[in-house]
Chains A and B, each alone.
Chain A
Amino acid sequence: MKGTAEGLRLRPGQRPWDEVLQALEEHLEASRGFFRGGKVVVELEGRGVEPEALEALRALLEAHGLTLWAVLGGDEATARTVRAHGIRAQVPAEEEETGGAALFLRRTLRSGQRLQFPGDVTLVGDVNPGAELVAGGNVLVWGRVRGLVHAGAFGDRGAMIWALDLNPAQLRIADLIGRPPEQRRGRVRPERAYAEGDRIIVEAWRVRK
């Protein structure tokens, strides 16, 4: 199970479906609505899937606000079954690459406001103290970040955060949480944050020439 910019990617391997469903349910319960709005891609890697298992999977995901978007990598018979349930059996490469969904917003998030989006977010404005910006993918803030920003919220540690002035209460990337040092360092400059190992690294955001 892996978080992506838009939701989850499941690789059930050869485990029995009821085991897979149980593990998935536990994961979704523990996440308390975190994945709401996300899309799920299942990679069968050659194994088959029975209509009952497919329906059970879909029902479980929908109960947690997720969409079963695509079931990939089955043989021709499996692909027919998948399509018969109205689910994609194939995804164009570029769509899988970019995830497709992105949000562009021109506003300031004020205290008590929360923006949640299952994809990349570009915000032209500030994230004020007490505001929360949560994205499944990357986050770019053309402004000041003083509240909370969470990128890769579905668990994608490859997600990044960029801001002109990154001075947040807290930064999160996937399951990692970072807090800025108590003392503000130096002058304001554009910065970016990414995960390395189990830590969030913040560094100057420079355009290479």
Chain B
Amino acid sequence: MRGKIITISSGKGGVGKTTTTANLGLGLAALGYRVICIDADIGLRNLDVILGLENRIVYDIVNVIEGRTTLRRALVRDKRFPEHLRLLPAAQTRNKEAISEEDMERVAYEAAEMADFVLIDSPAGIEHGFRYAVRPADRVLIVTNPEVSAVRDADRVIGLLEAYGRAEPSLIVNRIKPELVRRNEMLDPASIVDLLAIDLIGIVPEDRSVLSASNRGQPVVLDKRSSAGQAYRNISRRLVGEKVPFMDLRGPSFLQRLFGGA
């Protein structure tokens, strides 16, 4: 059976698309699923660094598309879950024009034959790179931050996905600081969901360990003590269809507000 293709997108850059892709890839692998992560950000290769796999790369996605190697040979095995997680790296020395929407679709479908989940890390923006990244997707996850500009860009991307006739996307609100939300200094997840009017699949709290974990190539999902790691583990389980309650980030009032309470 063909695996499910999930594209992680946002519109705005810097909201945590790549971090999310890395953590969900590892999270799903840790649950025992076979996962292939595709770094679609040609020219700005990052996913390999965050996964800590940079020094294992031999081939990249453009090599596969140009027929210089096979997909199977280009895939880099993860050092923690070699049987479950593999990465198709972006090309660092090329640009987005090197691949077409059809190319991406072909590679993603082939990858889906070899895995339960294919996660595509979309480039920022709404141009060609975004379009080829969402083209093969069965499902799109939109990552946003609790910032007005990021939410606006997420709304734009959702509108474009609707215009392409894609399935309705799901939302991940990243880098929530509960204490700032409590003091009304930060957009709260409930009002973001209210505006964007799409399904919420995860809220990831701001957590200092995310940055250091990414820098070390050891994504936070592997850290049992990290709250962001817990959030990513929860999202991974929701992706496979489990019902996981949302984390209690700020006492009962937070959840009440999120689910249409006061």
Interfacial residues, chain A to chain B (CB-CB below 8 A):
108-113, 126, 128-130, 146
Contacts and interface: CB of A to CB of B under 8 A. Distances in A.
Contacts of B155: 110-112, 128-130
A106 to B, nearest CB: 13
Given A110-B159, A111-B156, A112-B155, 9 more contacts: A108-B197, A110-B155, A110-B158, A111-B152, A111-B153, A112-B159, A128-B195, A130-B152, A146-B195
Given A110-B158, A110-B159, A113-B159, A129 B152 contact: yes
A128 B148 CA distance: 12
A110 B162 CA distance: 10
A109 B162 CA distance: 11
A130 B197 contact: no
Contacts of A129: 148, 152, 155, 195
- Name A's interface SS: loop
Contacts of A110: 155-156, 158-159, 162
Contacts of B153: 111
Interface string B181-224: 00000000000000101000000000000000000000000000
Contacts of A126: 195, 197
A147 to B, nearest CB: 10
Nearest to A109: B159
B220 to A, nearest CB: 30
Nearest to A107: B162
Interface centre among A109, A113, A128, A130 (most CB of B within 10 A): A128
Contacts of B159: 109-113
Interface residues of B, number: 11
Interface string B50-70: 000000000000000000000
A202 B12 CA distance: 34
B147 to A, nearest CB: 13
Interface core residue of B155, B156, B160, B162 (most chain A CB under 10 Å) = B155
Interface in B92-133: none
A112 B152 CA distance: 9
21 contacts: A108-B197, A110-B156, A110-B158, A111-B152, A111-B153, A111-B159, A112-B156, A112-B159, A112-B160, A113-B159, A126-B195, A126-B197, A128-B155, A128-B195, A129-B148, A129-B152, A129-B155, A130-B152, A130-B155, A130-B156, A146-B195
Interface in B31-58: none
A112 B162 CA distance: 13
A128 B152 CA distance: 8
A111 B155 CA distance: 6
A192 B148 CA distance: 26
A142 to B, nearest CB: 14
A85 to B, nearest CB: 39
Interface string B141-159: 0000000100011011011
B66 to A, nearest CB: 34
B162 to A, nearest CB: 7
Contacts of B160: 112
Contacts of A108: 197
B195 to A, nearest CB: 6
Contacts of A109: 159
A10 B156 CA distance: 39
